[in-house]
A and B are shown apart, each in its own frame.
Chain A
Amino acid sequence: MGIRVSNLSKKYGPQYAVNDISFEIQTGEIVGFLGPNGAGKSTTMRMLTCYVSPDTGSATVAGSDIRTEPEQVRRKIGYLPENNPLYEDMSIVAYLQLTAELQKVPKKEIRPRIREMIALCGLTREQHKNIGELSKGYRQRVGLAQALIHDPKVLILDEPTTGLDPNQIIEIRELIKKIGREKTVILSSHILKAVEMTCDRILIINRGELVADDSTENLRRRAKGADRIRLQIRTELNAQDLKALLEDLPTVAEVTPDAGLNQYILDSKPDADIRADVFHFCADKKMVLTEMTTLESSLEDIFRELTISQTES
């Protein structure tokens, strides 16, 4: 009863914005929809919210078909569109009231429901302000509050954390986690960090095609080989010998010289902890390790690999 998408496609002109995408999301799952700009995330979400129609393929949202029962679908979803459009001239309460009425929340429940949303989304101190006066982080909370007002089964959030500062990102992420426990949530981003911490599962989309669909944990495991560190060593050895020695380490897959003197970038083999090896190697040889930095999170690499290799081909 979550979301079921089968062979969904949508063209703009001659170009596919979304090309034959299929996936399923179960109730209770929080799924990240990851891809670079222009990958087709928003287009997919707009098809799920019945904002645009697919050319081919079908999808059901909480059991309702997006082609034949758009009104049912819209009752069951809470949607936060990209860039979080809001009526700037309205007060928070008036706006939530409007949304509640449009979402057919029973009249008696509207007031308590608004109070509940204001508390849940941390808007209590701002509740009498006009939306136009709010900072970006608070606007995002209002966007979430309107999406949640009718207690929807499915939440569709398009780039909910883009443009926020790091503290706001953490707050919004915590909020999504909290409300996502009994709901089906799909949230998109072009930044891995934004979905990695929140989502149980990640779908990666590139140029309209789904290139990965796996649990965050599995993806991380799969990506282990791409662990990458930079190190600098103070030693009497010449550069060639040092490089050869490093390459001989059992966990090292590749050694690339970097800008500084005796500075290298090391890629590890899959499932191997490269740092312990390097440390012991230096200690044995009585060399001084002056720098050792993890360059990027492993998932970042698989994301880049999946999305770049396709772009080049």
Chain B
Amino acid sequence: MNIITICRRELATFFDSLMAYIIMVVFLGLSGFFTWMFGSDIFFVGQANLSVFFNIAFWTLFFFIPAITMRTIAEERRSGTLELLVTKPLSDFEIITGKWLACLLLIVFMLVLTFPYYITVASLGNIDHGAVFSGYLALILISCIYISIGIFSSSLTDNQIVAFILSLSVAFVFHILFDVFASIMPGSLAQISSYMSVNQHFQQMSRGVVAIENLIYLFSITLIGLVMATMSLRRRLWI
């Protein structure tokens, strides 16, 4: 119940700000533009396929989620409202989870806005609806991780820009660095790195196979992020 309350308030704040609409327009514009640029052959080949769009969205989300999460806690720290919020009868974990859920719903909303791409492409030929479904699902699942990282970063500072850079850096490790490690490290280290890479999981899942190991990975990284963000709120008690 508390989580829903926090989530609602967070969404209301987001849609109240101009920044929100800029983020959404730019996200849609960029995704659309790159899909058209790199995927324009789909219009000629007649092979209806959204995989280009999903790979583009995978990258745009990587950049845009930190922009969405950066204000969540940093701004409350800066303005002092965090003190009011944490002295209400709800747990710090509920605050974090409520904010996380709000960001996730927002991403889902933004992805729903990309349905016109889907409809356009579908009208061109035989589309594999199952592949589209798993593509969207994969995007939503990797968003869970990046939002969690973003909220943790936001909880560490009272400066939104610092939060943005921090969460982009941590996300960079999962998005790119682990992939790089996987290709240069020997043996089991490579395997571990590959397992840690968001990209590997995304590619697997968007191909339509969501395995239990993918879910374990997503769930644990997300939860670790949320717990660390909670600890960062609770740090006030002891210092």
- Name A residues whose Cβ lies closer than 8 Å to a Cβ of B: 12, 46, 49-53, 71-72, 74-75, 77, 79, 81, 83, 85-90, 94, 98-99, 101-104, 146
Contacts and interface: CB of A to CB of B under 8 A. Distances in A.
Contact of B89 (A52, A75, A146): A75
A152 to B, nearest CB: 11
Contacts of A99: 88
B90 interface: yes
Contact of A85 (B79, B91, B237, B238): B79
- Best-surrounded residue of A46, A74, A102 (most CB of chain B within 10 A): A102
Contact of A81 (B16, B83, B91, B236): B83
B83 A85 contact: yes
A128 to B, nearest CB: 15
Contacts of B90: 102
A89 B13 contact: yes
A99 B90 CA distance: 11
B234 to A, nearest CB: 10
Given A71-B89, A99-B88, A102-B2, A51 B236 contact: yes
19 contacts: A49-B87, A51-B83, A51-B87, A52-B236, A52-B237, A74-B89, A75-B89, A79-B87, A81-B80, A81-B83, A81-B84, A85-B81, A85-B84, A86-B84, A90-B13, A101-B5, A102-B88, A102-B89, A146-B84
Contacts of A71: 89, 91
A300 B198 CA distance: 65
A87 B14 CA distance: 13
A88 B86 contact: no
A86 B79 CA distance: 8
Nearest to A86: B81
A74 B84 contact: no
Nearest to B94: A102
Nearest to A130: B16
Contacts of A98: 5, 9
B5 A102 contact: yes
A78 to B, nearest CB: 10
B17 A89 contact: yes
Contact of A74 (B13, B80, B88, B238): B88
Contacts of A50: 87
A87 B88 CA distance: 15
Interface string B62-91: 000000000000000001110111111111
Query: Which 5 A/B pairs are nearest by Cβ-Cβ distance?
Result: A85-B80, A74-B89, A102-B88, A53-B237, A85-B81
Contacts of A88: 79
A195 B236 CA distance: 29
Contacts of B81: 85-87
Interface in B90-141: 90-91
Given A85-B81, A89-B16, A94-B12, A103 B236 contact: no
A76 B80 CA distance: 21
Given A88-B79, A94-B12, A98-B5, 4 more contacts: A51-B236, A79-B87, A85-B79, A89-B17
B231 to A, nearest CB: 14
Nearest to B13: A89
Contacts of A79: 84, 87
